[in-house]
Amino acid sequence: MQPAFLLSFRDTVTASDANDDRFILSAPNLNLDMGQFSPGIRSAIRSLLDEEATEEELSDIVLQQEEMSALPQLFYLLQQLTNIGLICQTLKVEGEPMATIVPIAVPYSLEWEQVEPDREYVLSRFACARQEEGKLVIESPLAKARLHVADWRAIAFWGLLATPQKISSISHLIPSLSTEIATTIASLFLSTKILDEATEPQTAIEDTNKTLKQWEFHDLLFHARSRAGRNYGKVGKSYRFLNQIETLPAVKPPMSEEFIDLYKPDIDRLQQSDRPFTQILEERKSWREFDSNTPITIQQLGEFLYRSARMRGFARDRYYEASNRPYPTGGAAYELEIYAAVHLCEGLTPGLYHYCPKDHRLYKIADRTPEVAQLIEIAQQSTAQQNEQQVFLIYAARFQRVSWAYEAIAYSLILKNVGVLQQTMYLVAEAMDLAGCAIGSGNSDLFAAAAGTDYYAETSVGEFILGSKLKVADSR
């Protein structure tokens, strides 16, 4: 049976003025003129703004002023406010709060699922616990609400459920937790998808679902929280650190004093001489084998970077320095820095270089150190080819260029930008008759060690290999 929850407004809900008769109930997704409701309902809502109450207590407030016939309107209003995620529900045990259900998706409704004490239940592999603003949060991307847990016994109980257990056989392990209370907490966990029923032999039901089985924990959490839907609050550009933290400049300052100015092609001439766009698009493919006898030259590398990734000029966002380049990027923030781990390039000594898109230069930041050699070796392994790599391009994100302005979607935006740059490079490589191939994974710790960057401020998020085409064998 669903317990009698204490209801409370989430902290974004306010009343617009102190006038009891006609106040406006406000929240980011609501402006409700309470003047349209009866005095009893207005009093009940006003009281709920001040302190939490059960539905029964709110009904009593209405009944002090009105007949029973006013109650359906109260219940309907509470239901509507719950649906748009404005009402939290707190489970109290022996007069103390145990946990609060906080909606994160709209439309929201709680479907109470009662556990049976003698059946087995197990923690969902999607559930996770963390601290947020001094509250212990347990959540799962499967659920449309998260829990704020106030009582340590609920957490202790949680900890006992890593393997399938009957609620009746573990409740006694926690002091002062009766089977009845344990059953209520377990039902709360089950209703918020933190707990799952276990089937034979000792498997969570979610693991018998072929679709869910193929989701990894981190991927589903990332998906749920980086899209609107299961994500209460702002999703998108909110300039969340405006007036708090300085923005990073559009152009990363030089990383060394040793630089090489690169060749700049004549874009007007290329517009006349390039093969037609459709031909380039149709002939584009992933080339993983390179011609070691005639490797890519520094002039070709210069032309390639100029055509795909140079900075064409500054642009202005309202609050940060933006820029303009041949490939598009969310918010024109251009957080991706391009590094070249060079193994074989005529005119360029092996090592690690940082590309400055504004000055169209390569700054040398390391020789062929063991870390740089390992980066190149990983590129080699990623293509499952034997022949020698030439230039391994690594995209490293200056994360805060994006996360300063964007909420919820910053990292997903960065990964989208990686795809955009990879496709631009594919097309430029094809236009120049060079071999190129996107790479789907890389070692971000190794990159940070090789380039000397702070993993949390800037590290690799995407890769692309580049070289001269080995034309004798078709690598498709």
Ligand X SMILES: Cc1cc2nc3c(=O)[nH]c(=O)nc-3n(C[C@H](O)[C@H](O)[C@H](O)COP(=O)(O)O)c2cc1C
Q: How far is CA 305 from CA 145, 178, 292, 392, in A?
A: 46, 68, 21, 13
Window of 65-73, 81-89, 228-236, 436-444 that interacts with ligand X by CB under 6 A? 436-444
Nearer to ligand X, 45 or 375 (CB): 375
**Shortest CB 231 distance to ligand X, Å:** 25
Nearer to ligand X, 358 or 416 (CB): 416
Confirm or reject binding of residue 119 to ligand X (CB under 6 A): no
DSSP state of 206: G
Q: CA–CA separation, 178 vs 248, rounded Å?
A: 55
**Shortest CB 410 distance to ligand X, Å:** 19
**Shortest CB 187 distance to ligand X, Å:** 43
Window of 9-17, 31-39, 283-291, 400-408 that interacts with ligand X by CB under 6 A? 283-291
DSSP state of 384: T
DSSP state of 469: B
Q: CA–CA separation, 291 vs 390, rounded Å?
A: 9
Q: CA–CA separation, 26 vs 12, rounded Å?
A: 8
Window of 32-40, 140-148, 177-185, 285-293 that interacts with ligand X by CB under 6 A? 285-293
Binding-site string for ligand X from residue 224 to residue 263, where x marks contact by CB under 6 A and - marks none: ----------------------------------------
Name which position in 286, 297, 374, 387 contacts ligand X (CB under 6 A).
286
**Shortest CB 467 distance to ligand X, Å:** 13
Confirm or reject binding of residue 450 to ligand X (CB under 6 A): no
* DSSP structure string for 152-197: HHHHHHHHGGGS-EEHHHHGGGSTT--HHHHHHHHHHHHHTTSEEE
Confirm or reject binding of residue 80 to ligand X (CB under 6 A): no
Residue with CB nearest ligand X?
440
Name which position in 234, 285, 358, 368 contacts ligand X (CB under 6 A).
285
**Shortest CB 422 distance to ligand X, Å:** 6
**Shortest CB 169 distance to ligand X, Å:** 48
Q: Write b or e for each residue in 181-204: b if 16 or more Cβ atoms lie within 10 A of its Cβ, otherwise e.
A: bbbbbbbbbbbbbbbbbbeeeeeb
Q: Kindly report the number of other CB atoms within 10 A of residue 148's CB atom.
A: 19
Name the phi and psi angles at 102, rounded to 5: -115, 115
Nearer to ligand X, 171 or 422 (CB): 422
Window of 123-131, 164-172, 267-275, 282-290 that interacts with ligand X by CB under 6 A? 282-290
Looking up tokens 């006609």 gives 22
Q: Are 83 and 106 a contacting pair, CB within 8 Å?
A: yes
* DSSP structure string for 75-105: HHHHHHHHHTT-EEEEEEETTEEEEEEEE-B
**Shortest CB 256 distance to ligand X, Å:** 29
**Shortest CB 183 distance to ligand X, Å:** 48
What is the chain's length? 476
Name which position in 153, 288, 325, 343 contacts ligand X (CB under 6 A).
288
Binding-site string for ligand X from residue 375 to residue 394, where x marks contact by CB under 6 A and - marks none: -------xx-----------
Nearer to ligand X, 36 or 381 (CB): 381
Q: Kindly report the number of other CB atoms within 10 A of residue 138's CB atom.
A: 21
Nearer to ligand X, 272 or 381 (CB): 381
| C-alpha dihedral, 306 to 389 to 335 to 326, nearest 10° | 30
The token pair that represents 313 in the structure block: 């000029």
Q: Are 86 and 80 a contacting pair, CB within 8 Å?
A: no
Window of 25-33, 281-289, 301-309, 329-337 that interacts with ligand X by CB under 6 A? 281-289
Q: CA–CA separation, 14 vs 242, rounded Å?
A: 24
Nearer to ligand X, 73 or 226 (CB): 226
Confirm or reject binding of residue 300 to ligand X (CB under 6 A): no
SS3 253: coil
Q: Are 229 and 142 a contacting pair, CB within 8 Å?
A: no
Confirm or reject binding of residue 90 to ligand X (CB under 6 A): no
Nearer to ligand X, 195 or 439 (CB): 439
Name which position in 190, 439, 448, 466 contacts ligand X (CB under 6 A).
439
Nearer to ligand X, 43 or 380 (CB): 380
Binding positions for ligand X, rule: CB under 6 A: 285-286, 288, 382-383, 422, 437-440, 476
